[in-house]
Chain A
């Protein structure tokens, strides 16, 4: 009799996560409640196929602003991030980076909006700060993984600075460059999304058009947005970077003034819990904390974790379906071209927009959020894995068709896919924040409510809890990755 083999650690992890997601799904509210969804959906479809490029005022300027915030934000985060990466040996710096990247750029923007108002600084910093935290981590990893051999060849007495510039940097430079490109694409997306809360980017008009049901305008704005993202590699040339940066700095309307008093007031008064500020005593503070924890933080955390876990596992399943669309191992050139377009559209469409559409269709529940996060993230990881298969070579006599997919390709990409999924876990959790603004009761919902009520003490507490949750997920993800020995280097693509 043959003993049943122990399931591999990879399979065990997969089963555990699918199990957790299943339990979350059972308890999630995913009922479809709409009575008459097709009317609005029909209008939406008509709008999508009849884009109206002249409906929006100053659309060129808003594209300009979208790019300008992205350029300056990503440039600044590169400088800050590189600097922080060099200090990454310090626990304090690592913690600092973990905190700043754990807060969604939308929340940063809401905070900076209080400090600087609708000044361009709000948008630039909202992108630069969280990105600096991410870039520091990635650059530190790149430097760490670099080949140590060249360092051994330099003569003694070489200064640390020279050693860094002439020995370590050249090796890592190509990685930095390609990662910066990827960050810029993220930055453009983030910049557009910041429009939802009032910065003058594409998202500003997109949100308006959406809310008012002007779907032809929505369609036009989305098409423009896709074109900007998809054409990035043609206009993003290295010698042009200074031109773009100066252009960005020039077109942004810096004229909006802000006062130092506002900043001081926000930091020393507004964010102090109300009972303390009004001197209402410890009992009142206790009541305040009780309310915040048991009526907001706990239910918000449960919904956030629930949504994150379901979306993570669903993203995994969708990735398996999507990556073949652009894989040369599985499809011909023409099909891959269509696949590329599909994936660009799916991954560039902000999850907020997807959830908004699905909310119309299915009514208020967690379902629109799950599907929106899954499509968005599935398309991103599907794209990365599809690109990864370009580097995989199969035997000449490898099987064809479904067999090739199931027995040759899938097993080869499964580890990198899990690595990316676990890396993306924290990102998905951060993205649930923005869906809270649509009314799905994640922590983001309570943060949005606090900002709507101008209760910044509550907002900051909830953001801190959100950040803590993100840091926990990041730590768990790291330990899972290291236990399964999943390499993270793929994410640099």
Chain B
């Protein structure tokens, strides 16, 4: 019986502790990023960014890793992070949910992002300038369900080319989870073709991670706006007047080649919410947002 009551007491104790936020938290500025590729990469990359921002802003900046695109948006919505590195679609979703939040910075080439369609060598598909209609009837994998370059844009082009939803076009449709996985799955032949973020593809080809004798690039989409830093509208209220401007400046003036190389971006330029209107329209058209 004693065990039971101790057990109960400990349980209640644990519960009562929970809703009381520790005061330290309020002072920390927290950001996250969508898990679009190898998470070790992300942790290395954003760990450095956190250090850089801590130094520039003069307060403790923390990076929290999340497991999904939706988790990144949810954390942003619930004010558990105040800043996030989003993709086009996740950024649109986040800004729809949080009134007053703003896209503040994007990579220099992010307004002209691309998706690459890749295929296993056994399909016999070669690179072409026009949409590879021959992929119909094959097995095909997207990246994450919430990805712009891995889901939204490729699905848009597939639907425009065939006038049908992907499930009707392909023998099988999968969602690999992230871009690195997409490459691995097509390379192993688990799927015959897939859609991948061009930056991840280029990086992995360069570093020799991709076996180009097994998987090959077959098509490039026209450019579209993608990644951006988005900030909550109420940061000034939480961290003092002009804080939002300070963050934006810190991001835009990031010029340490080592820091930028890990993204990889040549530098950051200012972004506005309206830059992503094409993404929002496409997502509405595909029924991915209500």
B75 at the interface (CB under 8 A from A): yes
**Residue in A114, A121, A212, A439 whose beta carbon sits within 8 Å of that of B18 in the complex:** A121
B62 to chain A, nearest CB (A): 11
Q: Which of B80, B175, B189 contacts A35 (CB 8 A)?
A: B189
Task: Point out the residues of chain A lying under 8 angstroms from B181, CB to CB.
Answer: 211
Q: Report the nearest A residue to B66, measured CB to CB.
A: A198
Q: How far is the CB of B45 from chain A (nearest CB, A)?
A: 14
Residue A306 at the chain B interface, CB threshold 8 Å: no
Given contacts A212-B180, A363-B191, is CB(A36)–CB(B214) below 8 Å? yes
User: B-facing mask of A174-209, CB < 8 A → 1, else 0?
Assistant: 000000000000000000000011100000100110
Which single member of A121, A204, A364 contacts B172 (CB below 8 Å)?
A364
**A211 near B39: Cβ-Cβ < 8 Å:** yes
Q: Decide if A37 is an interface residue (CB 8 Å cutoff).
A: yes
**Which of A165, A238, A439 meets B1, CB within 8 Å?**
A165
A56 to chain B, nearest CB (A): 10
Are A254 and B17 neighbours in the complex by a CB distance under 8 Å? Answer: yes
CB <8 Å contact, B80 and A124: no
B104 within 8 A of A: no
A34 interface residue per 8 A CB criterion: yes
Contact with A255, one of B25, B139, B192 (Cβ below 8 angstroms): B25
Encode contact with B along A272-295: 1 for CB under 8 Å, 0 otherwise: 001000100000000000000000
Instruction: Across the interface, name the chain A residue whose C-beta is closest to B22.
Output: A255
> Known: A208-B40, A256-B80, A454-B93. Contact between A119 and B180, CB under 8 A?
no
| Most A C-beta atoms less than 10 A away, residue of B6, B20, B24 | B6
Q: Chain B residues with Cβ under 8 A from A453's Cβ?
A: 70, 145-146, 288-289
Known: A208-B39, A360-B188. A452 touches B70 (CB 8 A): yes
Tell me if B200 is interfacial: C-beta within 8 Å of chain A.
Answer: no
Q: Please measure, in the bound complex, the distance between the C-alpha atom of A33 and the C-alpha atom of B10, giving whole angstroms.
A: 52
Residue in contact with A439 in the complex, picked from B39, B175, B184, B214, CB distance below 8 Å: B175
Give the total of B residues in contact with A, Cβ under 8 Å.
Answer: 64
Task: Check: A229 CB closer than 8 A to any chain B CB.
Answer: no
Q: Which of B12-38 contact A (CB under 8 A)?
A: 13-15, 17-22, 24-25, 38
Taking CB as reference atom, which chain B residue is nearest A55? B40
CB contact list, B114-173 vs A, under 8 A:
120, 122, 139, 141, 144-146, 171-172
Q: Which residues of A contact B71 (CB under 8 A)?
A: 113, 118, 197-198
Smallest CB-CB separation from B18: which chain A residue?
A: A121
Pair count A-B, CB < 8 A: 169
Q: Is A75 an interface residue (CB 8 A)?
A: yes
Interface-forming stretch among A17-25, A257-265, A335-343, A393-401? Answer: A257-265
CB <8 Å contact, A118 and B14: no
Report the Cα distance A122→B44, complex, angstroms: 27
CB under 8 Å from chain B, chain A span 31-51: 33-37, 39-40
Neighbouring B residues of A454 by C-beta, 8 Å = 70, 73-74, 93, 97
Residue of A76, A124, A452 ringed by the most chain B CB atoms within 10 A: A452
A309: min CB distance to chain B, Å? 22
| Cα–Cα distance between A320 and B129 once the two chains are bound (Å) | 57
List A contacts of B78 (CB < 8 A): 117, 258-259, 262
* B171 contact set on A, CB distance < 8 A: 33
Chain A minimum-CB-distance residue to B3: A241
B180 near A211 (CB under 8 angstroms)? yes
Cβ of B205 under 8 Å from chain A: no
Segment with Cβ contacts to B, from A242-250, A324-332, A464-472: A242-250
CB distance from B129 to the nearest CB of A (A): 26
B18 touches A452 (CB 8 A): no
A378 at the interface (CB under 8 A from B): no
User: Chain A's nearest CB lies how many Å from the CB of B141?
Assistant: 8
Query: Which of B's residues lie within 8 Å of A, judged by CB?
Result: 1, 3-4, 6-8, 10-11, 13-15, 17-22, 24-25, 38-40, 64, 66-71, 73-75, 78-80, 93, 97, 120, 122, 139, 141, 144-146, 171-172, 174-175, 177-178, 180-181, 184-185, 187-192, 214, 288-290
Q: Known pairs A35-B122, A211-B181. 14 more at Cβ < 8 A?
A: A36-B122, A39-B187, A118-B71, A196-B67, A197-B71, A208-B39, A212-B38, A212-B180, A242-B3, A248-B14, A254-B20, A255-B21, A360-B190, A364-B172
Closest 3 CB pairs of A and B: A35-B189, A257-B21, A198-B67
A-B contact pairs, 26 of them (CB 8 A): A33-B190, A35-B192, A39-B187, A40-B190, A76-B11, A79-B7, A79-B11, A169-B1, A197-B67, A207-B67, A208-B39, A241-B6, A242-B3, A245-B6, A245-B11, A249-B13, A257-B22, A258-B78, A360-B188, A363-B172, A364-B174, A452-B144, A453-B146, A453-B289, A454-B74, A454-B97
